[in-house]
Structure 1
Amino acid sequence: MTSADMHGEVRDPELPGRLLVVERDQLIPWLRGRAEGDFATPADACPGWTVRDVLAHSSAVLTRAVQGRFEEGVFSPESNDRDIAERAGWTDAQVVDELERGMTEAGPVIAQAGGALDGLALGEWVHAGDVRAALGEPEAYAGKGLPHALELLVRITRERGHVALHADLDDLDEPLRLGEVSGDRPPGRYIGDASTLVRLYSGRSVEAAGFELAGVQVGELNIFG
Structure 2
Amino acid sequence: MTSAEVRDPELPGRLLITERDALIPLLRQRPDTDFARPVGACPGWSVRDVLAHCSAALLRVVESRFEEGVFSPEANDRDIAERAEWTNARVVDELERGMTDAGPVIAAAGGVFDGIALGEWVHAGDVREAWGEPGAYAGAGLPYALTLLAAVTRERGHVPLHADLDDVDEPVRLGDVSGTRTPARFIGDAATLVRLYSGRTTAGASYELAGVKETELNIFG
TM-score (norm 2): 0.97
Q: Take 1:152 and 1:219, find their aligned partners in 2: how far apart are those partners?
A: 20
Q: Can you give the 5+ residue segments of structure 1 that lack an aligned partner in the other structure?
A: none
Residue in 1 aligned with 2:201? Answer: 205
1:93 and 2:96 equivalent?
Answer: no
- Preserved contact between residue 203 and residue 222 of structure 1 (Cα < 8 Å): yes
Could you say if the C-alpha distance between residues 209 and 42 of structure 1 is closer, same or farther in structure 2, counting changes exceeding 3 Å? closer
Residue of structure 2 aligned with 1:219, choices 202, 215, 219: 215
Q: Is the 8 A contact 1:155 1:178 kept in 2?
A: yes
Q: Distance in 1 between matches of 2:50 and 2:34?
A: 12
Deviation at 1:185, TM superposition (A): 4.3
1:8–1:158 Cα contact (<8 Å) kept: no
Determine if contact 2:192/2:205 at 8 Å carries over to the other structure.
no
Question: Equivalent residue for 1:122?
Answer: 118
Q: Is the Cα–Cα contact under 8 Å of residues 16 and 103 in structure 2 kept in the other structure?
A: yes
- The CA distance in 1 between the partners of 2:172 and 2:92, in whole Å, is 34
Query: Percent sequence identity over matched residues?
Result: 74
Q: 1:158 aligns with which of 154, 163, 168?
A: 154
Partner Cα distance (2:115, 2:153) in 1: 10
Q: Which residue of structure 2 lines up, in the alignment, with residue 73 of structure 1?
A: 69
Unaligned runs of 5+ in 2: none
Residue 66 (structure 2) pairs with residue 62 (structure 1) = no
The alignment covers a number of residue pairs equal to 221
Aligned structure 1 segments of 4 or more residues deviating by more than 3 angstroms: 181-185
Aligned residue number for residue 24 of structure 2? 28
- What CA distance in whole angstroms lies between the structure 1 residues aligned with 2:63 and 2:135? 33
1:167: which partner in 2?
163
Counterparts in 2 of 1:181 and 1:18: CA distance versus 1, 3 Å = closer
Alpha-carbon deviation of 1:138? 2.0
- Please report how far the alpha carbon of residue 47 of structure 1 lies from its aligned counterpart in structure 2 after TM superposition: 0.4
Within 1, Cα distance between the matches of 2:150 and 2:90?
Answer: 34
SS in 2 for 1:189: strand
Matched, 1:147 2:147: no
> TM-score, normalised to structure 1's length?
0.95
